[in-house]
Amino acid sequence: MPTPLGNLRDITTRALDALRDCDVVVAEDTRVARRLLSAYGIAGKPLLSYREQNAAAATAEILRRAATGLVAVVTDAGTPGVSDPGRELIVAARAAGVPVEVLPGPVAFVCAAVLSGFDLTGLEFGGFVPRAAEQRDAALRRALARAGATAWYESPQRVVATLEAIALLAPAARVFVARELTKAFEQQILATPAAALAALERPVRGEIVLVLEPPPQVPAARESAAAGALDAAIDALLDLGLSVADVAKALASSAAGGRSEAYARAAERKRGRGDGNP
């Protein structure tokens, strides 16, 4: 069942009913769960710890409790199973024939994606941004090549490096950074990667969601038409007897990559015509 992202009032009536009626609460951090229970006057509930580090050892006892009673599974914030412990427990419960029910509620990346104002058609959730720089950059390149926005969770220790990487890969892209959603020091930043870096409060603290909108893509048909027009212009100048270097100089402003691209395409066209060396 979901718990508030930060503001304790963001809990549903059904969630409170489940907490009051359950026989045991399974929590990612029992201290966080105890604060939530205390805030709503729910006392005397046994708490079991279930987190990444002890999941394998704790699962059997949780399933044993669930076989004869009602178990409420909560994470520190949001919905269990969304980049938090919970998915493996659901899989194990189903395998053991234990019924599973989910209660609707907060999911941080959905809230941030809506706040961004980006077109969410084809929205993709990538979990946490990969820690290693090589894997992180590969994930960013994949996201930038997509048509839709991509959302990730990110740690305050790594978000600066991630924004710097986006700024290098796609300075014209737009990012939305949501920090400490629903909490007292919530910060929302909608900007280019460089501007987001400048606006981000330092030192960076709290829970962070990053939503990336790729820069507009040049349609393939337009790229093909432009390439065809450039090739036709190159052929016309070669027919006049101009050298590859002179063609490149004349058409530098017509090629997306400037003079170097015009030279490379002119040399390729000349070789294809069998005209010899540039």
List pLDDT tens digits, range 5-33: 999 999 999 999 999 999 999 999 999 99
* 83 and 20 housed in the same domain: yes
Q: Is residue 21 part of a domain?
A: yes
**Tell me, what's the pLDDT at 275?**
66
- 23 and 79 co-located in one domain: yes
State whether 198 and 231 are in the same domain: no
Q: How far is CA 86 from CA 28, 147, 209, in A?
A: 9, 30, 20
Domain-embedded: residue 114: no
**What's residue 266's pLDDT?**
86
Per the domain annotation, does 1 fall within a domain? no
Beta partners for 49?
27
Q: What is the CATH number of the domain that holds 48?
A: 3.40.1010.10
* pLDDT value of residue 178: 98
174-179: strand order across its sheet: 124-128, 150-154, 208-213, 174-179, 187-191
The residue among 213, 233, 260 that closes a domain is 213
My answer on whether 54 and 88 are in the same domain is yes
Read out DSSP for 189-233?
A: EEE-HHHHHHHS-SS--S-EEEEEEPPPPPPHHHHHHHHHHHHHH
| CATH classification at residue 205 | 3.30.950.10
**How do 187-191 and 174-179 pair as beta strands?**
antiparallel
Does residue 236 share a domain with residue 209? no
Number of compact structural domains in the chain: 3
37 within some domain: yes
Question: Where does 78-130 show beta strands of DSSP type E?
Answer: 124-128
32 and 76 together in one domain: yes
Q: Are residues 233 and 179 in the same domain?
A: no
- Whether residue 111 lies inside any domain: the answer is no
Indicate whether 137 and 207 sit together in one domain: yes
Residues 6+ apart with CB under 8 A from 167: 192, 193, 194, 197
- Distance of alpha carbon 175 from alpha carbon 109, whole angstroms: 13
Give the Cα separation of 204 and 189 in Å (integer): 13
Cα 212 to Cα 129: distance, rounded to the nearest angstrom: 12
Q: What is the pLDDT of residue 274?
A: 72
Which residues span the domain enclosing 159? 130-213
In one letter, which amino acid is 60? Answer: A
> Does a structural domain hold residue 6?
no
Same domain assignment for residues 162 and 207: yes
| Same domain as 197, residue 139 | yes
- pLDDT at position 224 is 66
Residue written as token pair 């993709």: 124
- The four Cα atoms 79, 80, 83, 88 give a dihedral, to 10 degrees, of -150
Environment class of residue 121 by beta-carbon count within 10 Å: exposed (0-12), middle (13-18) or buried (19+)? exposed
Please identify, among 51, 77, 95, the residue that sits at the C-terminal boundary of a domain.
95
Please indicate, yes or no, whether residues 198 and 260 belong to a single structural domain of this protein. no
Q: Is residue 172 part of a domain?
A: yes
Same domain, yes or no: 195 and 231: no
Is 122 inside a domain boundary?
no
CA–CA dist 43, 105 (Å, integer): 23
The pLDDT value given to residue 193? 94
Per-residue pLDDT of the chain (278 residues; tens, 9 = 90+): 999 999 999 999 999 999 999 999 999 999 999 999 999 999 999 999 999 899 989 999 999 999 999 999 999 999 999 988 789 999 999 999 999 999 999 999 999 999 999 999 999 999 999 999 999 999 999 999 998 999 999 999 999 999 999 999 999 999 999 999 999 999 999 999 999 999 999 999 999 999 999 988 655 555 566 678 888 888 888 888 888 888 888 887 767 667 778 888 888 888 887 765 55
Q: What is the pLDDT of residues 96-140, one digit of tens each?
A: 999 999 999 999 999 999 999 999 999 999 999 999 999 999 999
